[in-house]
Structure 1
Amino acid sequence: MSETNNPLIRTDIPHSARIWNYWMGGKDNYEIDRTIGDASLAIDPDIATMAVESRKFLIRAVRMLAGERGIRQFLDVGTGLPTMQNTHEVAHELAPESRVVYVDNDPLVLAHARALLTSGSDEGVTTYIQRDFHNPEEIVADARNVLDFEKPVAVMFMGVLGHARSYPDALRIIGTIMDAVPSGSYLVFWDGTTDSDAYVKLCQEYTKSGGAPYEPRPKEQLEAAFDGLELVDPGFGPIVHWRAELAKPGTLPDIAAYGGVARKP
């Protein structure tokens, strides 16, 4: 990888975005990520399923918002590495004029941004903002240069807020951005929960490996992120069940990942 020449990219410390990429079959990862990824699979074999199912949830949510709700602006915070059917690709398939802003502070993600930005539509806009989600005011200020905050925006936190410094901080981050967007906007949010002992242990071991700590939380705390918003059917619950009408009965995996989509009244 040419990115190894970037001094900001540490190839000796595991990184959750690169490990996630590995679990999803991507190639943007290093030996340390694959080593920790395999060790994590030994602790919790369902984690690779969570990675795949979370992307399916993203695809269903963006399709619903662009296709059924007429949303043409997306703010994807903590996007991670591009893999398959990214937010802008799903949105542009249904609404080529969509404007998509990705936010991440990881140098490897930003190194891939140039290639990702070439795959957008001619009518729409796809861009990156280099910001830490712990500074949501800065995200809003930068996003205003691309998005029209007088029109609805879909704000997305897809399995990233376990990296928040605390639960109150996670709510602050969500609340700050949702306060900035107008009525008719949406929050798309999911995260890992404490339902699975194996997943909790995996997160603990990942922290010991030198990676940035990730804190799974009770599903009741995740649901509270939607307080004051109107949940879209089927409401808050396991992401594998969210609008999974096409799945065959009995085939949906049981993973510790909960979330939903909600409208700002």
Structure 2
Amino acid sequence: MLDDFMIRAALAGVGTALAAAPLGCFVVWRRMAYFGDATAHAAMLGVALALAFETSVFGGVLAAALLMGVTVTTLSGRGFAADTVLGVLAHSSLAIGLVAVSFLSGIPIDLMGYLLGDILAVGKSDLAVIWGGALAVNALIAWRWSALLTATVGSDLAKASGMDPQREQLALTLCLAVTVAIAIKVVGVLLIAALLVIPAATARSLSRTPEAMAVTAAGLGSLAALGGLGLSYRLDTPTGPTIVSLAAAMFLASVLITGLRQTT
């Protein structure tokens, strides 16, 4: 079954959606969309370093994303405005990564594949990485669910409950880094943040509890991945952007539905 490239692509899309969905809920609740974008942009620098040192791209992206997350958290607590730090690091890391890639002569590089994703080129080993990462992310979030929710409501409440908000932030940063590392093959550097935010934002207006929102986001993300893959095949369009475009259409539909409910 896995010899069929469309089956591998479908499994890769669903696995990535399942990793991004619950994490995306926390990104939406904590208003961390720009943080996710900065972490995703750092992936390009990780790709360049991995290719330069002939190591695993997954490992390079994971290391770069983790470094970005820790750097943003550290600088934001030392007198720098968070949005300023994110703006500087997000764009500079992407630019430096692209410049670094241009110096890698003699190494075949599918730059558009890294920027926009190449889900149709996913192999069996990529599937193992994607689903392994998705299981790890979901296991960590399930383990820390109550603590993460409490810290999301307020850091003072978390401290009063005997929890460490910084530890929960570190857990989210780790999950975000893993998700970025496994999603780069599916939707690419430029679209990872969209896959994190859009399904979760769509599920927010359709759910009444945090748990329901996470499950709904997972379903919507999987539907966008499978539907976008099918549309891309039929229309001969780039798969990553098609997946995100379908997710955006679903978000617009949810906004319209919510608006109609409020007027009736």
Q: When the two structures are superposed, what TM-score results if normalisation uses the length of structure 2?
A: 0.23
Larger relative contact order, structure 1 or 2 (CA cutoff 8 Å, min sep 6): 2
The structure number with the bigger radius of gyration is 2
**As a proportion of its length, which structure holds more helix?**
2
**As a proportion of its length, which structure holds more strand?**
1
